[in-house]
Structure formats: C-alpha cells, structure tokens
Amino acid sequence: MTRSALVTGASKGIGLGIATRLASQGYGLTITARDAERLAVVAEELTRAGSPDVVVSAGDMADENFAAALVATHGERFGSMRALVLNAGVGTSGRVADYPMRRFDKTVAVNLRTPFALLQASLPLLRTAADADLAGGAKVIALASMAGVYAESGLAVYGATKAALISMVEALNAEESGNGVSATAIAPGYVDTDMSAWTHDRITPETMIKVDDIVELVDGLLKLSSRAVVPKVVMTRAGTNGYSA
C-alpha cells in the first residue's frame, strides 16, 4: 500500500513546503488550492521531487460540498490516507465592534467547517492506513495559530476559529488515538508567507518563523509511533514574550 497524504492549501507557503517534503519521501499526494493552473505546476514539481502519484483537485474551501468530493477523489486513487494536512485557511483582521458578518461566515467556513468536514470524511481512510501500519498509525496535522492560544486585539474571529481547530484536534485524539489515528495542532506566531504580508510594516519577514521550521516539525510528528500523541505545539518567534503572534 502506497503511503499517501492529502494536503490543503498546497500551492504555496507552508502547504507547498509540507507537500514537497512528503513527495521527497515517496508519498502519493492529493493536493488542493483554488488556483488550478498553479496546482498543475506544483504537481509537476512534486513529481520531480519524488512523489509517485500526484492528484490535483482545485476548489474553494468555503464550498460546503467540496470536502466530500475531495476525500472521495483521494480514496478512489489511494484507498487509504496516512496523513491529512489541514493547512488551508483565511485570515483577515478586524475588531469585534465592526467585523462584517459576511467575512465572519467565510472565515468560519474555511478555517473550521470545511476542516471538520474533511476530517470526518477522511476518518475511514485514516483508520485503514492505521490498521495497515500499527506501529506508525495515521496522522492529522492542523495548522492553527498563536492567536488561537492567546487572544490578540484585531484577530478575534481568526483566533476563535483557530482555537476551535485546536479543540477539535484534542477531541479527535480522545476518540481515535487508541485506534492509531492521532492529531496535532501547530500554533505558530507569524510565519514568513504571503498570508503574513499585511503586517510587514510592524513585523519584518526576517523576524518571522521560517516555512522550513514548520516543515521540519511536521516531518518529525509524522515519524512518531502510534503510541505517542502530541495534541498541540506552540511555536513562538524569537525575541517575543511568547504570548503574541
């Protein structure tokens, strides 16, 4: 059985970094993002990096029907799922007093509702992979945020969705880790990606966490045995007090 992973938000940044590392280790991959043309280019890159099979599925994470179709596509090709990487997300700042409800709904859909739907749909495939590898099990990696651990002004909605994602991971471990399926929420401060560009006037890219730091962490988590469960990892930026992104 080929080890396989599904990676959301895989066209750039953290998702691309993780997908590239998995490709180099021979994982079959299903990758998704909104830009179909960009995904096609990434698929070629991942094949050259070592993946034996790359499935491309472009779509909108705010679409409530997308999750089921995406997981079905992965299942048809691979039959199991060794790793689910919930990386895609949106983040816009705004104060509680005047945050637009339309933006609220989209943030909740992309950052929480669809990840939950993906996790729910993926569980049979994750269990199959865990049964086939009792020592290693199957893993879920969810990219949360420091803002989901410590509240930050202007990030109420974003932080709330990430806090809920962390809670979802912990509940999954309580329910499934005994069956070999475990999850980790990674909660970093600002990472040097396009998503953090809006804060460059305050926090320069040179002081942000590197994408490679996240990739190394994910690589290590995926290599843990099924006996070890790491519910949450908080990663802070050097030179900060550790309580803000």
Full set of structural domains in the chain with CATH: 2-233 (3.40.50.720)
pLDDT, one tens digit per residue, over 221-234 is 999 999 999 999 99
Mean pLDDT, the chain, rounded, equals 94
Which residues have C-beta within 8 Å of that of residue 135, sequence separation ≥ 6? Answer: 225, 226
Residue with tokens 């049979």: 124
Measure the CA–CA gap between 115 and 85, rounded to whole angstroms. Answer: 10
Torsion sign over Cα 148, 154, 156, 157:
negative
pLDDT, one tens digit per residue, over 87-145 is 999 988 899 999 999 999 999 999 999 999 999 999 999 999 999 999 999 999 999 99
pLDDT at 199 over 80: no
Q: Cα angle at 243 between 242 and 245, to 5 degrees?
A: 85
Alpha-carbon distances of 77 from 6, 30, 71, 100, 168, rounded to whole Å: 11, 9, 10, 40, 27
The letter for the amino acid at 102 is: R
Does this model's pTM top 0.85? yes
Q: Which of 27, 99, 150, 158 is catalytic?
A: 158
Q: What is the pLDDT of residue 24?
A: 98
190 is catalytic: no
Measure the CA–CA gap between 233 and 144, rounded to whole angstroms. Answer: 9
